[in-house]
C-alpha cells in the first residue's frame, strides 16, 4: 500500500529542531511523494528556515511568524491538507524520535481500517525513555479512558493517522501540546474507531530537543482534562449509556463471570462509602478514577454510589446527624435531627461531617459483608486458570 491509496499526506510540525529536521524530511521523502508532505514551521528561531529553504520548491511549507504552539501548527496543517483534497493526514514529529520507515505501518493499518484513527504506540519501558515521558503517558492514558471508555497504550504519541472528514467541521480550541489530547477525545466522542500499531522510538540526548515545559504544559493538560471530564459527565456518558451496545457492555461489566465475589462485594461496599462520604459533588469524580485504578467493577460501584440520589439525601443527612451525636459531647436538640435543611447541616457541621464519615465506613462494612454473602449464595466463584 502507498499513501495515495489512502489519499493521505504527511504533516510535520517543527520548532527549533535544526539538528534533526533535515534528516527527518529527507527520510520521509524516501517513503512518500514530496507533494504529499506538509511542513509547518512554528516560528523557529534557529536555522530551521534556512533548512526548509532547501525544499521550498518541492514541499508544502507553512510558517507561523511567531511561535504559536504545536497544537496551532497541527490545526494549520489539517486546514491545508483539507484544502489540498487529502482524506487522511499522518503526523510525525521532527525531533528524530520516530522512524520514518514506520510510516508504512501506519499506511497499511489505515487502509485496513478506513475512517479510523491510527495511533503509533511506542514502547515506553525501553531503555533511554525519560521517566517524565513514561509517567506523562500513563497519566494521559488514564484520563483518556475516563473521558472516552477507550483503552490505548500510548495517547501522547505524535505519530498518528487522522481521518480528515471528522475534523472538517470540528472547531478545535487548544494551541499547545494539549491539542493532541483534545482532538482524540473529541474524535472518540464522535464514535471514531481507534487502532494502535506498535512503532519504534529513539531518544538520543545528543540531538533531541524537547519543548515540553513540565510545569506550564502539565498544568494546561490538567485543566483540559478537568474540562473534558465534566463534558463527558454531561454529554458523553449519557449518550453512551443510552446506546444498545453500551447497555450490553454494562450488563456484561456488571455480571463479569470471570470476576470473584470478593471483588464484586468490595466494589459495592466502596460505592456505598463514596456515596455517603461528605464530598458532595466530587464523589464520582474521585471515586471513578479510584475504581479504575484498583480494577473494581465500575458498574456495581456507580450503582452503589447512587445511594446519594436526591430522594435519599434527607435520609443521609438524618442518619449522619444521628450518628454524629454519639461523637459530639454537650447538649443537642434531638428535634433538629428531623430538620433536613442546609441550615441544620451548617449549624451542626462538625457533627454532620463526623457522622457522615462514620456512617460511610459502617455502610462499606455492612454492604461488603451482605453483598459477599448474597453473591456466595447465588453464584460460584470463577475457577482460577
Out of 110-119, 189-198, 307-316, least confident range = 307-316
Q: Quick one: pLDDT at residue 381?
A: 77
Confidence bin at 206 (pLDDT 50/70/90) = low
Q: Quick one: pLDDT at residue 31?
A: 96
- Mean per-residue pLDDT, 8-24: 96
Q: Quick one: pLDDT at residue 385?
A: 47
**Whether residue 319 has pLDDT greater than 80:** yes
The structural domains of the chain, with segments of one domain joined by +, span 3-235, 256-378
53: which 3 cell numbers? 529553504
- Mean per-residue pLDDT, 215-227: 84
- Specify the higher pLDDT residue, 24 or 241: 24
Q: Quick one: pLDDT at residue 330?
A: 47
Architecture of the 3-235 domain: Alpha-Beta Complex (3.90)
- Mean per-residue pLDDT, 31-35: 95
Q: Quick one: pLDDT at residue 379?
A: 83
Q: Quick one: pLDDT at residue 245?
A: 63
Q: pLDDT tens for residues 356-370?
A: 999 999 999 999 999
Report the percentage of the chain scoring pLDDT > 90: 55
**Whether residue 170 has pLDDT greater than 60:** yes
Out of 54-63, 139-148, 201-210, 252-261, least confident range = 201-210
Q: Quick one: pLDDT at residue 132?
A: 60
- Specify the higher pLDDT residue, 295 or 250: 295
Q: pLDDT tens for residues 112-156?
A: 999 999 999 998 776 666 666 677 788 889 999 999 989 999 999
Q: Quick one: pLDDT at residue 321?
A: 82
Mean predicted lDDT score pLDDT of the chain = 87
Q: Quick one: pLDDT at residue 335?
A: 54
- Any idea which residue has 493517522 for its cell? 161
**Whether residue 164 has pLDDT greater than 90:** yes
Label each residue of the chain as H, E or C: CCHHHHCEEEEEEECCCCCCHHHHHHHHHCCCCHHHEEEEEECCCCCHHHHHHCCCCCCEEEEECCCCCHHHHHHHHHHHHHHCCCCEEEECCCCCCECHHHHHHHHHHHHHCCCCEEEEECCCCCCCCCHHHHHHHHHHHHHHHHHHCCCCCCCCCCCEEEECHHHHCCCCCCCCCCHHHHHHHHHHHCCCCEEEEECCECCCCCCCCCCCCHHHHHHHHHHHHHHHHHHHHHHHHHHHHCCHHHHHHHHHHHHCCCCCHHHHHHHHHHHHHHHHCCCCCCHHHHHHHHHHHCCCCHHHHHHHHHHHCHHHHHHHHHHHHHHHCCCCCCCCCHHHHHCCCHHHHHHCHHHHHHHHHHHHHHHHHHHHHHHHHHHHHHCCCCCCC
pTM, two decimals, is 0.65
Do the beta carbons of residue 83 and residue 59 sit within 8 Å?
A: no
Amino acid at each position: 500500500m502507498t499513501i495515495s491509496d489512502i489519499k493521505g499526506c504527511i504533516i510535520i510540525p517543527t520548532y527549533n529542531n535544526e539538528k534533526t529536521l533535515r534528516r527527518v524530511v529527507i527520510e520521509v521523502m524516501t517513503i512518500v511523494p514530496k507533494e504529499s508532505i506538509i511542513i509547518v514551521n512554528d516560528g523557529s528561531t534557529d536555522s530551521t528556515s534556512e533548512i526548509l529553504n532547501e525544499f521550498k520548491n518541492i514541499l508544502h511549507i507553512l510558517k507561523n511568524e511567531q511561535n504559536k504552539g504545536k497544537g496551532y501548527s497541527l490545526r494549520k496543517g489539517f486546514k491545508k491538507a483539507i484544502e489540498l483534497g487529502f482524506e487522511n493526514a499522518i503526523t510525525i514529529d521532527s525531533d528524530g524520535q520516530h522512524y520514518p520507515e514506520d510510516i508504512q505501518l501506519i499506511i497499511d493499518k489505515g487502509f485496513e481500517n478506513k475512517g479510523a484513527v491510527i495511533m503509533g504506540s511506542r514502547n515506553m519501558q525501553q531503555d533511554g525513555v525519560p521517566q517524565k515521558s513514561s509517567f506523562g503517558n500513563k497519566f494521559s492514558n488514564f484520563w483518556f479512558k475516563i473521558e472516552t471508555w477507550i483503552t490505548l497504550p500510548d495517547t501522547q504519541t505524535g505519530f498518528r493517522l487522522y481521518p480528515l472528514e471528522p475534523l472538517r467541521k470540528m472547531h478545535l480550541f487548544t494551541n499547545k501540546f494539549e491539542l493532541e489530547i483534545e482532538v482524540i477525545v473529541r474524535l472518540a466522542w464522535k464514535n471514531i474507531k481507534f487502532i494502535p500499531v506498535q512503532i519504534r522510538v529513539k531518544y538520543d540526548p545528543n540531538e533531541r530537543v524537547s519543548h515540553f515545559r513540565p510545569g506550564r504544559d502539565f498544568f494546561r493538560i490538567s485543566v483540559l482534562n478537568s474540562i473534558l471530564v465534566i463534558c463527558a459527565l454531561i454529554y458523553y456518558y449519557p449518550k453512551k449509556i443510552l446506546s444498545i451496545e453500551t447497555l450490553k457492555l454494562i450488563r456484561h461489566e456488571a455480571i463479569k463471570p470471570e470476576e470473584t465475589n470478593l471483588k464484586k462485594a468490595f466494589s459495592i461496599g466502596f460505592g456505598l462509602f463514596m456515596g455517603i462520604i461528605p464530598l458532595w459533588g466530587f464523589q464520582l469524580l474521585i471515586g471513578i478514577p479510584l475504581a479504575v485504578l484498583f480494577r473494581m467493577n465500575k458498574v456495581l460501584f456507580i450503582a452503589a454510589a447512587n445511594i446519594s440520589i436526591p430522594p435519599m439525601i434527607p435520609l443521609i443527612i438524618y442518619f449522619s446527624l444521628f450518628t454524629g451525636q454519639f461523637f459530639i459531647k454537650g447538649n443537642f436538640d434531638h428535634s433538629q435531627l428531623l430538620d433536613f435543611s442546609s441550615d441544620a447541616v451548617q449549624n451542626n457541621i462538625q457533627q454532620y461531617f463526623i457522622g457522615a464519615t462514620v456512617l460511610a465506613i459502617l455502610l462499606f462494612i455492612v454492604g461488603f459483608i451482605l453483598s459477599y454473602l448474597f453473591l456466595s449464595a447465588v453464584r460460584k466463584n470463577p475457577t482460577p486458570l
